[in-house]
Amino acid sequence: MAANSSLPEKNKPKVARKDLIALLNDDLAREYQAIIAYVVYSQVIKGAAYMNIAAELEVHAAEELSHAITLANQIDYLGGMPTVTPKPVKTSDKAEDMLRFDLDNENETIRNYRRRVRQCEEIGEYGMAEHLRNILVQEQDHQIALATALGVDIPDVTQPDQRA
């Protein structure tokens, strides 16, 4: 008998370990994207209005590297091979455009990590969920910094019942 085949459908985990590996690899590719974007943007953003955020983006790059290492470790723990390919990085000649690209990416990252925390808990990977919560705290800080730099409200990227 296959694992979980006798469980009623509502009691089966919503995500299998192999699926979680694929989802975490997608998250890892997004972290690579963020590292590249923050490194490049921090160096090419010009103008007095952006000097503080440029320095902050350098800090974000280092934090995203830490996230990537954590994700690679968790993927390995699950028996998977961490991806080596980043998601595409958008560039622009306009500082505001680059910051908006970053904010959009952070919003997506936060949505994904909130889902991932729930998925980890559904399959009993509570320690992994805690690692992801720690990453989520920093990603939300990045979101706040970018929204503040752009002078926009902090986006509400999920419904209250979806929050981890």
164 residues of the chain, pLDDT tens digit each: 444 555 455 555 589 999 999 999 999 999 999 999 999 999 999 888 888 999 999 999 999 999 999 999 999 999 999 999 999 999 999 999 999 999 999 999 999 999 999 999 999 999 999 999 999 999 999 999 999 999 999 999 876 555 55
The token duo for 43 is 């160096």
Residue 54 lies in a domain: yes
The token duo for 52 is 């503080």
Number of domains the chain contains: 1
What is the distance between the alpha carbons of residues 59 and 10, in angstroms, rounded to a whole number? 43
pLDDT of residue 14: 81
pLDDT of residue 2: 46
Residue 57 lies in a domain: yes
* Contact partners, residue 162, CB within 8 Å, separation at least 6: 114, 115
Residue 2 lies in a domain: no
Task: Quickly list DSSP for 26-81.
Answer: HHHHHHHHHHHHHHHHHHH--SGGGHHHHHHHHHHHHHHHHHHHHHHHHHHHTT--
CATH of the domain at 53: 1.20.1260.10
- CA distances in angstroms from 21 to 65, 94, 112, listed in the order given: 19, 36, 14
What is the distance between the alpha carbons of residues 69 and 21, in angstroms, rounded to a whole number? 15
Residue 10 lies in a domain: no
pLDDT of residue 1: 42
Residue 94 lies in a domain: yes
Stated pTM of the model: 0.88
pLDDT of residue 11: 59
Residue 1 lies in a domain: no
Amino acid at 117: V
Residue 48 lies in a domain: yes
Residue 130 lies in a domain: yes
Residue-number span of the structural domain to which 50 is assigned: 15-162
Tokens 């390995």 — which residue?
76
Amino acid at 74: Q
